[in-house]
Chain A
Amino acid sequence: MPLPNQPQESEEAVEGASPTGPRRRFFAWAIRAIACALGLGFLVPATGYLISPALKRRENAWAEVGTVADLPMGDPQELEYTQTVKDGWRNAAAKKSVWVTKQSDGTITVFSPLCPHLGCGYRWNSGDQQFQCPCHGSVYDVTGKVLGGPAPRPLDALPTKVENGKLWVIYKEFKSGLNRPVEL
């Protein structure tokens, strides 16, 4: 707020004690300094407070998705599981799914269920032996390699581990449309 630098000399009301000249400028300066200090004193913590959740990374935890022995060789399966995820102040049960394939050499690959092109859910066509995305026609082979369509990168593999015959994965999401996986 711009403040008048000189008193209104014609005004009868302000004659007498109202300071003029350098004293008046000192008060104007001090009032602004205090206003700035108060503004900063509140705005700095308030900004941190308001953007705080935006700065938190997704918490990735291992989740058990199934038994290795139950997986058919070479035939991708969509496994659904429920995981407790932190949703702000509450712990929510979130249903997730991943594509799991026991490859012919016995290794297990787990893919994020979202097409790397624009995030649609793709499916396995066992007749064509291909993963096919219904949205924009991206096609992948059983190892996740791009066979056709607009997909910029192979299917996104997720970290896996096997403990006592159980398969565990860490669910992650990646930015779509890039030619390499960038975690969200």
Chain B
Amino acid sequence: MRISARLYDWLDRRLNLQPLERSLLDEPIPGGASWTYVFGSATLFLFGLQALTGMCLAVYYVPSPDAAYDSVEYIQHEISFGWFIRGLHHWGASAIMVAIGLHLLQVYLYGAYKRPREPMWMVGVALFLLMMGFGFTGYLLPWDQNAYWATAVGTNMVATVPLAGDFLVRALRGGTTLGALTLSRFFALHVLVLPTLIVSGILLHLVILRRVGPAGPWDEHRAGQTREAFYPRQVFMDAVVMLGAFLVVALLAVAVEFPLADRADPADHTFTPVPEWYFLFFYQLLKYTPGPLEPLASWGLPFLLVLGLFLLPILDRTPERRPAARPLAMGAGVLFLALVFTLLGISLRSLYAQPRMDPSVAHGKALYARHHCAACHRIHGEGGKVGPDLSYVADERPDAQWHLRHFRDPTSVSPGSIMPKFPLSDQDMTDLTNYMLSLKSGGAIASDGKGAA
């Protein structure tokens, strides 16, 4: 006998494992195994991946405003595979939202939330909200501009809740301002509180599944025809989808870099924060809501939506599961999806239409970092004090030619300068000059194109 079989045998004789194994693997699936039943397992798998990559990130991450950004940058650039682990965690979060969305759609389409599965649906909705909580709290942790300003907007929206709003936002931030206390409580929520809650919720979801059994096809006749066990075909299908999900997330982590924005700067109001894509439809909705109606969109609508979702099995109590016989439910579902995807589409289009940082300026900024210019020069409090402060250098030196001559040979325009000549190509000097010209008071980051083109 092989070692593993002997070990299993040894344990089985003591713990009586066979009935447990049979009950786990031979769970009957009405109508047989199907590729449409894989989304729950895929979500569970991706959650496990988030837990593992999260534990890895926690090994180096430090939840303090002084250190968070540096520690994430350290993970990204200096730890082997740090960029990969962080990429898996970032894209894994998006993948979970997709998996949950598909899982929810499948259950909705199949009418699987109906009696006797109402409790399983309600726990599922709670799990979805907890997952949103993970997304919201995790977004702040890198403490870059995006994290800071997106969380500032997110917490401000809580303030529009009537009566308790002001208190709620202070409770969420740990005071009036978004700062050290916000970061540490978001960290505690993200890595201690939410995981405990969600693991309990997942167990409950699965225990209920085992008590009521899977719903199977909506066609009663088909459901009764075959009763295939969970193992091996459904396990195989689940495994294939898990592998596919892992490959997609890993490929995204490798191919699409998820860079840190600049360090969080509460004084820099030029930054336009963008929420994660799964909050974008909501972000867009807020743009159409005039001032007095703001609370309606920022908390009223989401509250009603979540309440409706949660109470769905109570509101829709007919036992009918065939989609063709549920025109109201199908119509509402299609309308909701159309609305969400339209808002998402409009939002994405307007995001890409917005002027981003001029690529030349962005490259100049990267050159500034690569040549360690900050060792001598200071920009908005970052960097050394040997050379002049460059925070608003374009105000003093608006002439592109001056900068070009200066980069070629600093002493030619600034006698006695100790700045070394850097081996830069003409294109590099142009880009660096454009970056210098973008540094002006008034704060426009994007170059206006009148630079050293």
Query: Measuring CB to CB, which residues of chain A are less than 8 angstroms from any residue of chain B?
Result: 2-4, 7-8, 11-19, 24, 27-28, 30-31, 34-35, 37-38, 41-42, 45-46, 48-50, 52-53, 55, 88-90
Which positions 295-337 of chain B face chain A at CB distance < 8 Å?
none
User: Which of B25, B32, B235 interacts with A16 by CB under 8 Å?
Assistant: B32
User: Which of A27, A28, A53, A89 interacts with B67 by CB under 8 Å?
Assistant: A89
A19 touches B232 (CB 8 A): yes
Q: Which residues of A contact B226 (CB under 8 A)?
A: 16-17
Closest chain B residue, CB of each to CB of A17: B228
Q: How far is the CA of A90 from the CA of B25 in the complex (A)?
A: 50
Shortest CB-to-CB span from A42 to chain B, Å, is 6
Tally A-B pairs: CB < 8 A.
111
B85 touches A14 (CB 8 A): no
Q: Which residues of B contact A88 (CB under 8 A)?
A: 60, 71, 74
Q: How far is the CA of A158 from the CA of B233 in the complex (A)?
A: 67
9 A-B pairs whose Cβ atoms sit less than 8 Å apart in the complex: A16-B225, A17-B227, A27-B235, A46-B85, A49-B80, A52-B79, A55-B80, A89-B62, A89-B67
Question: B277 interface residue, CB < 8 Å from A?
Answer: no
Q: How far is the CA of A15 from the CA of B104 in the complex (A)?
A: 30
Contacts A34-B243, A48-B80, A88-B60: A15 and B71 contacting too (C-beta < 8 A)?
no
User: Which of A16, A35, A89, A90 interacts with B239 by CB under 8 Å?
Assistant: A35
Closest chain B residue, CB of each to CB of A2: B8
Which positions 208-242 of chain B face chain A at CB distance < 8 Å?
225-229, 231-233, 235-236, 239-240, 242
Shortest CB-to-CB span from A27 to chain B, Å, is 4
A52 touches B80 (CB 8 A): yes
Shortest CB-to-CB span from A68 to chain B, Å, is 26
Q: How far is the CA of A35 from the CA of B53 in the complex (A)?
A: 17
A49 touches B232 (CB 8 A): no
Question: B22 interface residue, CB < 8 Å from A?
Answer: yes
Closest chain B residue, CB of each to CB of A45: B81
User: Which of A11, A24, A42 interacts with B232 by CB under 8 Å?
Assistant: A24
A15 touches B227 (CB 8 A): yes
Which positions 21-43 of chain B face chain A at CB distance < 8 Å?
21-22, 25-28, 32-33
Which positions 48-101 of chain B face chain A at CB distance < 8 Å?
49, 52-53, 56, 59-60, 62, 67, 70-71, 73-74, 78-82, 84-85
User: Which of A19, A34, A50, A52 interacts with B242 by CB under 8 Å?
Assistant: A34
- Chief secondary structure at chain B's binding surface: helix
Q: Which 5 A-B pairs have the closest CB atoms?
A: A27-B232, A89-B74, A13-B28, A17-B228, A45-B81
Question: B163 interface residue, CB < 8 Å from A?
Answer: no
Q: Which residues of A contact B26 (CB under 8 A)?
A: 7-8, 11, 13-14
User: Which of A8, A18, A53 interacts with B233 by CB under 8 Å?
Assistant: A18
Contacts A4-B21, A18-B228, A42-B49: A30 and B80 contacting too (C-beta < 8 A)?
no
B74 touches A50 (CB 8 A): no
Q: How far is the CA of A7 from the CA of B246 in the complex (A)?
A: 30
Q: How far is the CA of A28 from the CA of B232 in the complex (A)?
A: 7
Q: How far is the CA of A108 from the CA of B433 in the complex (A)?
A: 48
User: Which of B32, B33, B227, B232 interacts with A31 by CB under 8 Å?
Assistant: B232
Q: Which residues of B contact A2 (CB under 8 A)?
A: 4-5, 8
Q: How far is the CA of A48 from the CA of B8 in the complex (A)?
A: 32
Closest chain B residue, CB of each to CB of A86: B78
Shortest CB-to-CB span from A62 to chain B, Å, is 17
Closest chain A residue, CB of each to CB of B5: A2
Shortest CB-to-CB span from A66 to chain B, Å, is 23
Shortest CB-to-CB span from A7 to chain B, Å, is 7
Q: How far is the CA of A127 from the CA of B357 in the complex (A)?
A: 70
B236 touches A27 (CB 8 A): yes
Apart from A13-B227, A30-B236, A34-B242, list 12 A-B contacts with CB within 8 A. Answer: A2-B8, A4-B231, A7-B26, A13-B229, A17-B226, A27-B232, A31-B236, A34-B239, A38-B242, A42-B49, A49-B79, A50-B59
Q: Which residues of A contact B32 (CB under 8 A)?
A: 16-17
Q: How far is the CA of A139 from the CA of B79 in the complex (A)?
A: 43
Q: Residue among A24, A37, A50 with the most chain B CB within 10 A?
A: A50
Q: Which residues of B contact A18 (CB under 8 A)?
A: 228-229, 232-233
Shortest CB-to-CB span from B253 to chain A, Å, is 10
Closest chain A residue, CB of each to CB of B82: A49
Q: Which residues of A contact B225 (CB under 8 A)?
A: 16
Q: Which residues of A contact B80 (CB under 8 A)?
A: 48-49, 52, 55
Contacts A27-B235, A30-B239: A89 and B229 contacting too (C-beta < 8 A)?
no
